[in-house]
Every structure is written in structure tokens, then in C-alpha cells.
Structure 1
Amino acid sequence: MRHNSFLRIVTAAGAVTVIGLGFPGTAAAGVDDLSISKFGKAGTGCPYELTASLTNVPPAAPILFRDGATALGAGVKAGDVATIDWTPATTGEHTLYAGVSGPAPGWKELKVDVGRGIDLGSTCMGM
């Protein structure tokens, strides 16, 4: 009887290990990369587009964006990317995040140095 209990425990542990391996060639769902549409330094009051590159994210799963602890909202998904507009209000280093809403692991982060914005009419730049 004792021997059978040990065998069941070993078998259960082996099953967990096999299940944890997943299937070859299947990538985990989530955000692979986070980028910003800017040239040079970012500036306060200047609009930018944040882009999250996605892998295997279900169509109904929202991609959320944050500036530090401040929620920016859910991005607009199109295929394997999600985007959101961001206009920094303060100078200094900002840590931006993008991730899948829910239990999916991993948020990608991007550090952006923001200076004082100068609006030149057709463009806006950071100093």
C-alpha cells in the first residue's frame, strides 16, 4: 500500500513536468517589445505613439499601457501590434509599460527621458 502511494506521487510529479514543457514551436502570449515614435529627446506637451509588438494574444484580450503607476488605457489593436497616444506632462525619466490584461505573464518596459517640449508648429521636440 505504501509503495502505491509513492508511485502515485512520482507519477503526478512527472505529469506536472510534462505539462509544464508545453508544445514545441508555441510561443507564449504577450508583449514582445515596446517602442515610441520619436526622434531625439521626448518633450513635455509633445504627442507620441507607443507601439507594443504582440505574440499570440487573443483578439479579445486588451493591451494595457502605463506611465509608471499611472494607467494610460487600453491600446488599439491591429494584427500583431497595439498602439496608444501618449503626451508626457512632466520632465524627467518615465518608465512606460505595456502588457496583456489578465493573468498573462510579463510586462515590457521602456525608459524615456523627457525634457521641456518646444512646439514648432509642424513638429514638437524635447530640449
Structure 2
Amino acid sequence: MTMRVGAVAAVFGAAVAVMMGAAPTTRGTVTQVGMYPGVNFGSATNYGSGCTYTARAAVTDAVSPVVFYDNGVPFGMVRPSGGVALIDWVPAAPGAHTVSAIQEPDGSAVASIDIQVGNGMHLGYACAVFDG
């Protein structure tokens, strides 16, 4: 009887060890990046240097932080809420910008959006955008 209990315990222990070792790890992924222009406006683009916009990243992990980049340079990190991470973005210079996001700690799946930025001029709470 003691051998049978010992054998059952050994089999059960081995099964638990296999299950624990094979447990999948959840990695966050950014599935989409977008940019809200707000009330800013222009003829060629709604995005101007020195103006504030809201970057949006849709994510698969509701807990892990999201790092945002502008042309490969990080400009902020936030925790998502309800599968979405939002952060302010202020482009420093006119020209082509690629805004991307990675959900940490994975960092392997990157989503991005390409944005053309013109010269921004503040008009109270909005910006007029020239050129671009």
C-alpha cells in the first residue's frame, strides 16, 4: 500500500511539474497605433510642431506598460486602461515622423503610424498648421 501511495504521489508530482514548466507566459502586444489631431488644423496636415496631440495604442495586455517612440526616440511610458494606452505627443520639428509603441516587457511586437508634421502656430487652445 505504501508503494502504491508513493507511486501515485510521484506521478502526480511529475504531472504538476510538467504543467508548471509548460505554463504559457502572457506577452503584451501593441496591435495598433493611432494619433488624435484634436482641434488642430492645416491644409496639408493637421499635425504641427510644438502642438499637442494624443497618441493611442491598442494593446493585448491590460497591465504591462507601453513605451511610445518618435522616430525611434522614446517620449513616454504609460500603463494602459481597458486595453488602450494614451499619452500626449508634441512633435519638436516639422518633417516625417514615425510614432511607434511597444508593450513591455516583451518588446518584440511594434506597431506604428507615419505622420507628416508641418509648422504649428498656437491659436489659444488650438494650433494652425502651415506647410507639411
| Shared fold, TM over 0.5 | yes
**Alignment-derived partner of residue 114 in structure 1:** 117
Residue identity matched to 1:34: V
Q: What do residues 19-46 of structure 1 show as CA deviations (whole Å, max 9, x unaligned)?
A: 9xx9xxxx97411111111154200110
- State whether residues 34 and 110 of structure 1, in contact with CA within 8 Å, keep that contact through their aligned partners in structure 2: yes
Residue identity matched to 1:78: S
**Alignment-derived partner of residue 37 in structure 1:** 36
What SS is found at the alignment partner of 2:80?
strand
What SS is found at the alignment partner of 1:77?
coil
Displacement of 1:122 in angstroms is 2.7
RMSD: 2.2
Corresponding residue to 1:96 among 76, 84, 99? 99
- State whether residues 76 and 84 of structure 1, in contact with CA within 8 Å, keep that contact through their aligned partners in structure 2: no
TM norm structure 2: 0.68
Name segments (4+ residues, structure 1) moved above 4 Å.
Answer: none
Name the CA distance, whole Å, in 1 between partners of 2:101 and 2:107. 12
**Alignment-derived partner of residue 50 in structure 1:** 55
Return closer, same or farther for 1:119/1:58 CA change in 2, 3 Å cut-off: closer
- Look at both structures and tell me which one has the larger radius of gyration over its CA atoms: 2
Structure 2 unaligned spans of 5+: 1-21
TM norm structure 1: 0.70
- Percent of matched pairs sharing the same residue: 30
How many residue pairs match? The answer is 101
Name the CA distance, whole Å, in 2 between partners of 1:90 and 1:104. 27
